[in-house]
Amino acid sequence: MTDPRLAGTRGVTGTVRQALEAGVRAVQLRDKTAADSEFLAQALELRALCARHGALFIVNDRVNIAQACSAHGVHLGQDDMGSAEARRILGPEAVIGVSVRTVEEAMAAERAGADYVAANMIFATATKTDLPGPLGLQAVRELKAAVGIPLVAIGGVTPENAAVVLAAGADGLAVVSALMSSPDLPGDVAYFLNLLSH
């Protein structure tokens, strides 16, 4: 997941390019502050990069931008457009994910047609300042048990704790800081991919 504040001198595009070359399989464009025109320009650039590497490209929050750049899908928060409406706009093939913090939210997202849910903030992180606190590993177990669709863990996931997050039941890992500001991006990507392959 992208964050322009964490990309440093590589920039978002440079960081994403390195990550894709290292084997990242999905990229989510996330920028809460960019104007639509700026966000769309970035989306078109990253969509083309992902296409060249055979990776999924997901847009955070903004269904209109996902549609405009022919993204593979969209990731929605609890205050964003509902999954069913996003599906109507983006079509049956779109990948739709929803951030959740409770079993009720996870089950509702699955009923509404989400393809995956994201357990929203497993550990404390500076990239998520609008949430009351970290969910912890027990929430991963509970959310995984509640739904039949894949569960992605987000929030403070690092090479140091990724293994325990996967052991708790997460099917995938969404990382921001751990890759956007990584001093060894290829090495960290390889580590995450190795964990996910077991």
Q: Which residues have a catalytic role annotated?
A: 30, 99, 128
Closest by alpha carbon to 76, among 88, 89, 58? Answer: 58
Question: How are beta strands 172-174 and 151-154 bridged, if at all?
Answer: parallel
- 8 A C-beta contact, residue 128 and residue 99: no
Tell me which residue has tokens 């990309």. Answer: 7
**DSSP per residue over 149-183, as a string?**
S-EEEESS--TTTHHHHHHTT-SEEE-SHHHHT-S
